[in-house]
Structure 1
Amino acid sequence: MNINWYPGHMKKTIEDIEKKLKLVDFCIEIIDSRIPYSSRNPIFKDLLKSKKRLLIFNKSDLSDPVINKKWMDKITDTSNFAISYNATKPDVGAVVSKSEELMSEEIKKYTEKGLNRGPLRAMIVGIPNSGKSTFINSIAGSKSAKTGNRPGVTKTNQWIKINPRLHLLDTPGVLWPKFEDKVGLHLAFTGAIKDEIMDRETLALRLIERLRDIDTKILGKRYDLEDTENMEPIEIMDEIGKRRGALIRGGLIDYEKVASIVLDEFRKGVLGRITLEDPDEF
């Protein structure tokens, strides 16, 4: 299933981010903790190399905490600090203190000179639908940034004053021109790519296949299915359709409805706390 989505405005956003890097001290990269590898834009590696990064493992309430810990241990170093974050239980103090820890050397230089450097300034970057705006609103305590459960909601840059110690510059979510097959699928599973350009039925079929590979009990428990390990993905879709009444005239399966059920329930965390990517695979 070949998936690519790179609207023209994303190229412009990359160029704008590069121009405005001089305005900030460091970057905060929002990562969808269900797909810690696929939700990191590879363009950022070179684009942001001059800045330290605080890596926010967002949507931690939807992902596997054990696997997330392994991921954070793997990617944390002196210039990249990672923390787990749940926007439904905002922790402003943790974000501010971790930002100051990340930038402690730079802060110390100002302090030793008797200078007041003012608040730290950070640029928020990430892919579409990674939860950037929800993260900002959760720590700002207001609707400072537009939010929506679909990619491409943030269209412009905007400054948000979190508190006297930290100011944030929000930027639109950006992808890159060409994805690996697995990466494209994972982005589509989590809603980072617009559903309108997708074959949702095939996408749901592939998600069922991936979930079954992770743990055969995930689908069996939610949809009251037995022996999913030995069922083909299409057979699992059929059984879900029967149990959820997703049928059309003649008793045939309404695969479009089944696809919506599976994708929506995965994205909302109804199927459980699931991380699709293990750090040992990358």
Structure 2
Amino acid sequence: MDIQWFPGHMTKTKRQLLEQLKWVDVIIETGDARLPLSSRNPLLRELLGAKPKLLVLNKADLADEDQTGKWLKKLEQEGPVLAVSASTGAGMKKIIPMLEELMAEKWQKLAEKGIKKPIRVMVVGIPNTGKSTIINTLTGRAQARTGNKPGVTRGSQWLRIHGRIELLDTPGMLWPKFDDQIIGRKLAASGAVRDEVFDLEELAQWLIAWLQTNYQGALNKYYKTEQEEINLETIGKERGCLISGGRVDTLKAAQIFFREFRSAKIARATLDRLE
């Protein structure tokens, strides 16, 4: 299964990022704690250059806690990183102090020149990593549009979140080609790619097999079955996805399976694993 998705507005977003970078002091890069590596756009690393950056891994409440701890230790070698949950608020209070720490040296130099200015922060990341939810949590009110589907944020806007901090929200940006199709599958499984652009049933079978290997017993426990091999037929029967003749509607079963996986009902699973 070949997963490629690069809507036209993504090209425009890349151009906007290059234009806006000169006005920005610090970068917040949002990622998905379930995909600490795969949810980071390699194009962003090239575009952002040497700007001070804080990596915020959102949706930590959906990820494997043990894996998150291992990834934080690894990623701290690159620079400041936080694991947060914008939906529950966990870890969010640490963001502003870390931004202030990143700006402390520049503020000092400006103060020596008699200049007082706010930190200007750009928020970047691939679709559906929760950028707008993070911004809304920081501002305390819904100033940026949010949604559960990728690509909701279309334009860019400055938002004052603190006496000395302004945020620039930007649309999410995927890269034009997934060189590693496993990364494409992981992103699709997490919801970063629209379900309409890939074979949902085929991806579901791949993810079911992956879960049986990496989270043994989780599917059996959740779907209340002792079957050694679990598939969409198993899930469909358990969820009542039956059509004429007693056959299973495997597409409906796949849709239900992904809803339950993405909300961590089956397991708090991290798709990028460090052993």
- Do they superpose with TM above 0.5? yes
Look up the equivalent residue of 1:268 and give its one-letter code.
Answer: S
Decide whether aligned partners of structure 1 residues 245 and 43 sit closer, same or farther in structure 2, where only a CA change above 3 A counts. same
Contact 2:30 2:131 in 1 (8 A): yes
- How far the C-alpha of 1:120 sits from its partner, in A, is 1.1
Structure 1 residue 174, shift from structure 2 partner: 0.4
How much is the aligned-residue C-alpha RMSD, in angstroms?
1.5
Please tell me whether residue 184 in structure 1 is matched to residue 179 in structure 2: no
Letter in 2 for 1:267: R
TM-score (norm 2): 0.94
Task: State the alpha-carbon separation in 2 of the partners of residues 269 and 15 from structure 1.
Answer: 36
Flag the 1:221–1:132 CA change in 2: closer, same or farther, 3 A: same
Asked if the contact 1:33–1:275 (Cα under 8 Å) also holds between the matched residues in 2, the reply is yes
CA contact (8 A) 2:86 2:92 kept: no
Q: Distance in 2 between matches of 1:64 and 1:83?
A: 15
How far the C-alpha of 1:89 sits from its partner, in A, is 3.0
SS of the residue 2:88 aligns to: coil
Q: Is residue 81 from structure 1 mapped to residue 80 from structure 2 by the alignment?
A: yes
8 Å contact kept, 1:74–1:279:
no
Name the counterpart of 2:44.
44
Q: Which amino acid aligns with 1:129?
A: N
Deviation at 1:273, TM superposition (A): 1.4
CA–CA separation in structure 2 for the residues paired with 1:12 and 1:214:
38
- Report the Cα distance in structure 1 between the residues aligned to 2:105 and 2:227, rounded to whole angstroms: 56
SS for the counterpart of 1:242 is: helix
CA distance in 1, matches of 2:57, 2:93: 16
1:131 aligns with 2:126: no
Q: Pairwise mapping of residues 17-32 of structure 1 onto structure 2 (< 5 A)?
A: 17-32=17-32
Q: For this pair of structures, how many residues does the alignment match?
A: 273
- What is the CA distance between 1:227 and its match in structure 2? 4.7
In the aligned structure 2, how far is the partner of 1:274 from the partner of 1:92?
21
1:259 is the counterpart of 2:258? no
Q: Does 1:161 align with 2:160?
A: yes
In the alignment, the residues of structure 1 paired with residue 32 and residue 201 of structure 2 have an alpha-carbon distance, to the nearest angstrom, of 23
Is the partner of 2:245 in helix, strand or coil?
helix
Task: Name the CA distance, whole Å, in 2 between partners of 1:17 and 1:50.
Answer: 15
Percent pairwise identity: 43
Report how far residue 246 of structure 1 moved.
1.1
Please name the residue that 1:58 is paired with.
58
Structure 2's unaligned 5+ residue stretches are none
Secondary structure in structure 2 of the residue aligned to 1:145: coil
SS at match of 1:269: coil
Q: Please report how far the alpha carbon of residue 124 of structure 1 lies from its aligned counterpart in structure 2 after TM superposition.
A: 0.4
- Tell me which moved more, 67-76 or 9-18: 67-76
One-letter code aligned to 2:127? P
What does residue 142 of structure 2 align with?
143
**1:108 CA drift (Å):** 3.0
CA deviations over 1:4-58 (Å, ceiling 9, x no partner): 0011210110111011001110110000111111100000111001311100010
Are the aligned partners of 1:38 and 1:186 in contact in 2 as well (CA < 8 Å)? yes
Q: Distance in 1 between matches of 2:88 and 2:48?
A: 29
Cα offsets for 1:221-242 (capped at 9, x unmatched): 11012253xx2xxx42211111
- Quick one: which of 214, 219, 231 aligns to 1:236? 231
Is the 8 Å Cα contact of residues 96 and 165 (structure 1) preserved in structure 2? no
Within 2, Cα distance between the matches of 1:115 and 1:68? Answer: 43
Q: Distance in 2 between matches of 1:92 and 1:264?
A: 25
Secondary structure at the aligned position of 2:51 is classed as: coil
5+ long unaligned stretches in structure 1:
none
Secondary structure at 2:80's aligned position in 1? strand
1:164-202: per-residue Cα shift (whole Å, max 9, x none)?
122100000000111011110011001111111121111
